[in-house]
């Protein structure tokens, strides 16, 4: 496994931020299983956990106004480092109006052991939450979370419902490899929650 301190990388007209490698899940389709980087980036496995200061320093060398979007994504779950995420997002907000998106597994409340939805107010334009499956059993099979004895699927949907009160655009996502029937059922779940569903293309690098 190659390591680096790649804290940001460009994908098309977007700037993606790689703030942590921590994640309580081990998704079967996770891009981390396929290589050391994403979209031709340098390795996204980090030599150490960066501080918000490290990430902000990296961002100072970028022209943040020139991107269509700045996305917290990378090789890990950004809400595992919620304070770093918030500080970085507040910095971005202070220097540019470029929209901010957070890609998350939606398990922030479990990860941080408190209700966190309100903490996203003012720091993100969009939150994209991985729905992954249409029921709890299928969800656990795909995401393989480390939380035991907890209905992670319900936790994720609960977070999605609450964070809608604080972030303008909230969407649920599935990867197209789950098949048409699962996508249809996922659409029903999203409709019931009143949240838009986005079907993402599976990237096998």
Task: Select the residue interacting with ligand SF4 from 27, 64, 82, 171 (CB under 6 A).
Answer: 27
Would you count residue 193 as binding ligand SF4 (CB under 6 A)? no
Radius of gyration of the chain (CA): 16
Q: Does 23 help bind ligand SF4 (rule: CB under 6 A)?
A: yes
Which bin fits 60, alpha (ψ -120 to 50), beta or left (φ > 0)? alpha
Q: Find the angle CA(183)-CA(78)-CA(174) to the nearest 5 degrees.
A: 5
Among residues 76, 98, 119, 129, the one that binds ligand SF4 under rule CB under 6 A:
76
Residue 153 CB burial class (10 angstroms; 0-12, 13-18, ≥19)? buried
**Number of residues counted as binding ligand SF4 (CB under 6 A):** 10
Q: Which of 141, 144, 153, 149 is nearest to 193 (CA)?
A: 153
Is residue 105 close enough to count as binding ligand SF4 by CB under 6 A?
yes
CB of 12 to ligand SF4, least distance (A): 20
200 touches ligand SF4 by CB under 6 A: no
Among positions 144-183, residues that touch ligand SF4 (CB under 6 A) are none
To ligand SF4, the closest distance from the beta carbon of 26 in angstroms equals 5
List the end-to-end C-alpha distance of the chain, in Å, as a whole number.
15
Contacts with ligand SF4, residue ranges (CB under 6 A): 23, 25-27, 30, 32, 76-77, 105, 143
């Amino acid at each position: 496994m190659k390591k680096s301190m790649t804290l940001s990388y460009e994908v098309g007209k977007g700037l993606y931020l790689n703030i942590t490698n921590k994640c309580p899940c081990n998704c079967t389709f996770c891009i981390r299983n396929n290589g050391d980087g994403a979209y031709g980036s340098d390795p996204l496995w980090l030599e150490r956990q960066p501080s918000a200061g490290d990430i902000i320093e990296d961002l100072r060398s970028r022209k943040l106004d020139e991107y269509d979007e700045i996305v917290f994504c990378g090789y890990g779950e950004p809400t595992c480092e919620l304070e770093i995420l918030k500080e970085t997002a507040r910095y971005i907000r202070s220097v540019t109006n470029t929209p901010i998106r957070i890609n998350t597994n939606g398990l922030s409340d479990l990860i941080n052991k408190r209700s966190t939805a309100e903490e996203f107010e003012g720091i993100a334009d969009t939150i994209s939450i991985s729905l992954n499956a249409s029921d709890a059993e299928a969800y656990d099979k795909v995401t393989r979370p480390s939380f035991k004895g907890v209905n992670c699927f319900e936790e994720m949907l609960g977070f999605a419902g609450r964070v809608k009160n604080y972030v303008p655009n909230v969407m649920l996502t599935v990867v197209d490899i789950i098949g048409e029937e699962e996508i249809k059922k996922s659409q029903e779940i999203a409709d019931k929650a009143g949240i838009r569903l986005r079907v993402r293309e599976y990237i096998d690098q």
